[in-house]
Structure 1
Amino acid sequence: MSFQQAPPVDEVIEALRSAPLDQDADGRALLPSAGVDPSRPVGKGNPPRLRRRGKVAPRPTAMEVERRIAEAQLWIAQRMPLLRIYENAGASWGVTNTRTVRSYLDAARQRMVEDLISNRLEHQAQHIYALYDCARRAMDAEQFSAAVGAFRVIAEIGGILRGPIKSPELRG
């Protein structure tokens, strides 16, 4: 009787891990079929593509798209981080595809720019009114440098002041 020495345990475990699930009579691996039809040439429909798993959200209505763009504008105005926007879009809209969320964000940014351009005078008036209120409060609190700064910004917005206030002698 001759006893053969058993291979180390690590080699046995590795052989079991790398062994195929099914083998033919000769010990060759039987790999699962990829769905290739041998009678047809391999191409676009051969092998067939795997179908998406899970539910695909239905396409949104035009009103839903407008609501999503408005919500994206709000998130942009709040300076929300992009990762948080992705999370909110997934929770609120059921959209997890980042490319889709980015397309909504692009549309929201474009709308914000168009709104700013079309209502430029209205935006200027709102900012000037807010700065006058700021300057009045600064003068009431005897913070005159802050009031002067607010008036300088008002002049810049109104187009009265184009350059810095400092004289050329002080710049040098």
Structure 2
Amino acid sequence: MKSRFVLVPLALLAPAAAHATVYLSVEQAQAQMFPGEPLKPEFRTLTDAQFAAIRKDSGETPLSREVKAWRARDGGWFILDEVVGKHEFITFAVALDASGAVKGVEILDYRESYGGQVRGQAWRAQFTGKRHGAALKLGQDIKNISGATLSSKHVADGVRRLLSTHALVLAPGAH
């Protein structure tokens, strides 16, 4: 009896490749959000109490105890963070003015195979002017993007969490 071998193309055996797009480096995002403004790193490690307070205040659990924040000369902040889209991380940054209002949101790295519409300027502009305490609920305060619902929700949740982080940890008088 002869044995038969079936050749299967290797591409069919390999897992689907993750789609990743790097839009901006940290330095490029900082220059775009704070043009001509030198930023000073002021990284923080959240205490147990701060971690719990952010979770309670924002309704979102920080993914890390490390807060990657840079302070602008004028009192504004550039905060770098990540959220999970559907399966993969989305690296994003929030720029806050000296009063704690959102100046802008940038998507630096998007690793999902779809849903990258969250990088659209019109969608991100919805966050401008938002402050700590804003609900940022998808479908109410922030418009959903069809085909990018989870990415939209998680970025909105992440911005709300960073507004809490600023108010509770970074702002003058925060503990």
TM-score after normalising by structure 1: 0.27
TM-score (norm 2): 0.27
Larger radius of gyration: 1
